[in-house]
Structure 1
Amino acid sequence: MCTRVFWNDNPIAKVTSRCMDWEVSDEPELWFYPRGLERSGGPQPDAARWRSLYSSVGLSMWNIGTSDGMNEKGLAAHALFLDDIKPPTATDAPTIVIAMWVQYVLDHFATVAEVLEHLDDVRIIAPPIRGQYMGAHLALEDPSGDSAIIEPIDGELVVHHGAEYTVMANSPGYDEQLANLARYAPFGGDLTPPGDITSLDRFVRASYFRHYLPEPANVTETIAGVFRITQNAAVPPGAPYNDGGVYPTWWHAASDVTNRVYYFWSTHSPSAIWVDLAQLADGKELLALDPRREGLIGDVTARLAGADLAY
C-alpha cells in the first residue's frame, strides 16, 4: 500500500522515492503553492488556521489534502497508510485532519528537527475520507540527510528520528518492521530478501536493495536509483493481498531535496515528469497540472497553470 526510500548517503544528492498503492486511483493533481496562502486544518470548529511560510509543490489526494510534497527549503513529507492509528487526544491544541498533515508541515517548517520541535502545536484527527477510515504515518527528510518517521500509536506520536531511518512501508508499526528486518541479511539475520507484496516484505526488499545501491555518477543516476527501488517494491495491477484485497501501485514520486526538483511517474505512462521548485519558489500564483495527462514528458515546470485552491 506504499513504500518510501530515502538515499541520503551518496555523494551527489539527497533523494527520496515513494509509491502510492491503493484500491482505486487517488486522482492526483500536481500543485505549486506560493507563500502566504491562508489554510485550514479542516471543516471542524477547532481546526488550526495558518498562513503558509514557505512555497511548496505537492500531490493532492482526491482534492481533499496533500499526500506527498516538498517545500522551497528542501523539507519533504510523505503520508503512507497505517492501519488502526490512535492519535493523542489529551490536548486542547487546534486540530488538523490527517489529510492536511503533509501540507501543514510543508507550510510551516524548514527542517526535520523543526517539525519535531513543534509536534504538540496541533492535534491530528482521522475522520473518514469518502466514507472510509484512512490512517497514516508520516516520513520526513531534509537536505542535511536527516530523517524521521512519525506514527500516531496508542495515543502518542511515536518518533523514530535519525539519518538511519531511510525506508518506510505500511502496517505494522515501525518497531515491528525493524524487528522483522533484523531477521534478514545484511541486517543481522541470514534470510534472503522475500518477494511478496505485503508491507513487511516490501520493507525488507526496499532496505536490501537500497543497501546495495552503487554510487551514482550524476543526479540522473541518483533519481533513477531510488525510482528502481520503489518499482521493485511496487504492487502489480491485480495482485491480491492475503485477504483478497487488491491495492496496485498508481504512481511513483521522487523528491530531490538537494536541488529542489520534484518528480512524478504514473504507472500508466512510460515517462516521468518533473517540476523545478527552485524556479517556482518565489512565484505568487497558485498553479496546478494533471500529472497523468497523456503526452507529458520531462520538465513540466512551465506547463503548470493558474488554478483555484481546491482544499
Structure 2
Amino acid sequence: MCTSLTYQTTGGDQFLARTMDFAFELGGRPVVIPRQHHFTSVTTAAGFDAPYSFAGTGRDLNGYILVDGVNEYGVSAAALYFSGQAHYAAEPVDGQINLAPHEVIMWILGNVKSTAELGDRLADLTITESAAPLLNIVVPLHWIISDREGNTYVLEQEADGMHFMKDPVGVMTNSPDFGWHLQNLSNYVELQPEPHAETRQYGDLQINAFGPGTGALGMPGDYTSPSRFIRTVFNREHTEAVATDGEAVNALSHMLNSVEIPKGVKIKADGSADYTQYRSYMSMNEPAFYMQPYNDQTITRVALTEDLMTASAPTEFALATAQQFNQVN
C-alpha cells in the first residue's frame, strides 16, 4: 500500500513524491539507468529497449527492476498496489509491446518524453499476467505519471480494459479504482484549514470549541487507502507554497508524514506488517531523484548528470546516513 502526490513550487518546478508501504523487504536503492539500456523481460524473449536515461528506486534481480523514478525529460512515474481490481492479458499479443506489470515503469521512463506521448502510445501496449522476480506473483499495480508541464495521469488496467485518466487532484493511493476515490471526495466537502463556528447553542447550553483545527474535523485518520487519499488531497491543497526545490522536498516530506506507516501499527491477515519502507521525491525540472529510507531519515539525492546518462551500465548508489552528514558538518 502506498501514497503518491504531485507538487509545484511558486516558480513552476514540478515534483512527484510517494511512500512505499509494503511488508516484504524490497531492498531498493537509488539507481540510474543509462541511455540505450536493454531490459530483459519475463513476458517475451526479446525484452525491450530504453532510449532515455532515468533515476529511481531499483534492485538488481538478474536485471534491474524499478518501481518509481524520473527520466531525463522530466517524466516521473510510480507504481502502486491495485489489489482486487487489476486485470491483465493472459498471453502476449503479436505486434504489441508486451510487458509484465512490474516492467511498465521502466518502459515508460525509458521511452516517453511527456504524458501526451504516453497516451498516444498506449494502444501499442499490452500488460500481461507475468510474475515478478523475488515476489513470484503477478503484481497487481496501477501507475501515476506526471511530466515537467504539470500534466498528471493515472493508468489502470481492469477487466473492461485500459484506462488513462487525467488526475485533477494530483494524488493517488490504492484500491478502489481512481474514479471511486474522486467520487468519495464529495463526502468531505466540509474540510477546510480555517475553523468552523467556534460556538454552538444547544438549548440553553453554549458549546465552545476546544481550539483551532475544527476545519479538519471529520478527516479520516486511519491507514486505509481511501483515508490516505482524503488526507493527502487536503494537505496538498492547503500546504503553504514554497519557492525552491529544497523547500519543495521538505514540504513533501511533511505532507507524507500524515500517511507514513510506522512498523507494527498495520498488521495484515497473515500476521505481516505493512510499513513505509521509504519515501521518494522526483524533481522533474532538475531532473533529480531523492530517496528517504525508514531506518535513517537522511535524504539521498541523485541528479541525472551527463556522465551517468551515458555510462555503459546502470549506476547504483548507497544510501546516505545521518552519521555521514554529521561527519561532513
Distance 1:297 1:106 in 2: 31
TM-fit CA distance, 1:119? 0.6
Query: Which range moved further: 175-184 or 236-245?
Result: 236-245
Q: 1:120 aligns with which of 112, 119, 123?
A: 123
Q: 1:238 is paired with a residue of what secondary structure?
A: coil
Residue 136 of structure 1 is matched in structure 2 by 141
Q: With structure 1 as the length reference, what TM-score do the two structures score?
A: 0.86
Q: Which residue of 2 aligns with 1:22?
A: 22
Contact 2:101/2:138 (<8 A) preserved: no
CA distance in 2, matches of 1:279, 1:295: 28
Q: Which runs of 5+ in 2 are unaligned?
A: 193-215
Aligned position for 1:76:
76
Residue 299 of structure 2 contacts residue 320 of structure 2 at CA under 8 Å; is this kept in 1?
A: no
- Which residue number in structure 2 is paired with residue 262 of structure 1? 289
Query: In 1, are the aligned partners of 2:5 and 2:172 still within 8 Å (CA)?
Result: yes
Q: Distance in 2 between matches of 1:72 and 1:296?
A: 31
Deviation at 1:223, TM superposition (A): 1.3
Which deviates the most, 210-219 or 284-293? 284-293
Q: 1:52–1:107: 8 Å Cα contact kept in structure 2?
A: yes
Is 1:193 the counterpart of 2:219? The answer is yes
Q: Residues 112 and 265 of structure 1: is their aligned pair in 2 closer, same or farther, counting only changes over 3 Å?
A: same
Helix, strand or coil at the partner of 1:271:
coil
Instruction: State the Cα distance separating 1:134 from its structure 2 match.
Output: 1.5
The answer for the alignment partner of 2:316 in structure 1 is 289
- Within a 5 Å distance, the mapping from 1:18-167 to structure 2 comes to 18-40=18-40, 42-44=41-43, 46=44, 49-61=47-59, 63=61, 65-84=65-84, 85-88=86-89, 91-92=93-94, 93-129=96-132, 130-162=135-167, 164-167=168-171
Code of the residue aligned with 1:225 in structure 2: it is: A
SS at match of 1:176: helix
Contact 2:145/2:154 (8 A) holds in 1: yes
**1:232 positional shift:** 1.4
What is the letter of the counterpart of residue 265 of structure 2? A
TM-score, scaled relative to structure 2: 0.81
Q: Distance in 2 between matches of 1:238 and 1:157?
A: 36
Partners of 1:106 and 1:133 lie apart in 2 by 21
Find the structure with the greater CA-based Rg. Answer: 2
* CA deviation profile, 1:14-51 (whole Å, cap 9, x unmatched): 111101011122110321111112223x233x456333
Question: CA deviation digits over 1:40-86, x for unaligned, max 9?
Answer: 3x233x45633321111121257362101111001011000101311
Alignment partner of 1:216 out of 233, 237, 242: 242
Q: How far apart are 1:94 and its partner, in Å?
A: 3.8
Residue identity over aligned pairs, in percent, reads 20
Amino acid at match of 1:254: Y
The partner residue of 2:173 within 169, 184, 187 is 169
Alignment of 1:230-245 (within 5 A): 230-240=256-266, 243=269
C-alpha deviation, 1:168, in angstroms: 0.4
Deviation at 1:262, TM superposition (A): 0.8
The residue number in structure 2 matching 1:273 is 300
* 2:262/2:275 contact within 8 Å kept: yes
Distance 1:296 1:124 in 2: 43
Q: Which runs of 5+ in 1 are unaligned?
A: 299-311
Q: Tell me the distance in 1 between the aligned counterparts of 2:189 and 2:149.
A: 28
- CA RMSD of the aligned region, Å? 2.6
